[in-house]
Structure 1
């Protein structure tokens, strides 16, 4: 669905899930309300993912964790250690 919003699909899926939750809780009104909220969030997330894919910036899949300074979190610290932060002294780590 290039160029179209996924909000309707998200809301429809959310209402379906919310209805099931509402029936299970014996409170259909709260379930549907919760489902609409979940559906709106899901639809917006699907739209954003589609926009990223169309732009081709590569951020649509996978997660690249950084620690704030642009380095990946598993690059090690200033001691040159690996993912656990341990240097040549054998200490450090989690």
Structure 2
């Protein structure tokens, strides 16, 4: 369940950023879809970094 919440926050962030850029640059469809993709990618990147830190901490103990 925790993973779904992170993904939802990434999608929400992407929608907000994509909408702002889309309105500003007069191409809402392009920027909305790019914003969602970038938001989801950022959430997965954060998750991977946290997993790497946990593994490194467990190996050092």
| Structure 1 unaligned residues grouped into runs of 5+ | 59-94
TM-score, normalised on structure 1?
0.51
- Name the counterpart of 2:35: 35
More helix by share: 2
In our comparison, the structure showing a higher alpha carbon Rg is 1
Q: Residues 4 and 52 from structure 1, CA distance in 2 versus in 1: closer, same or farther, beyond 3 angstroms?
A: farther
Segments of 4+ in structure 1 off by > 3 A? none
TM-score, normalised on structure 2?
0.72
* 1:1-94 mapped onto 2 (5 Å cutoff): 4-5=2-3, 6-55=6-55, 57=56
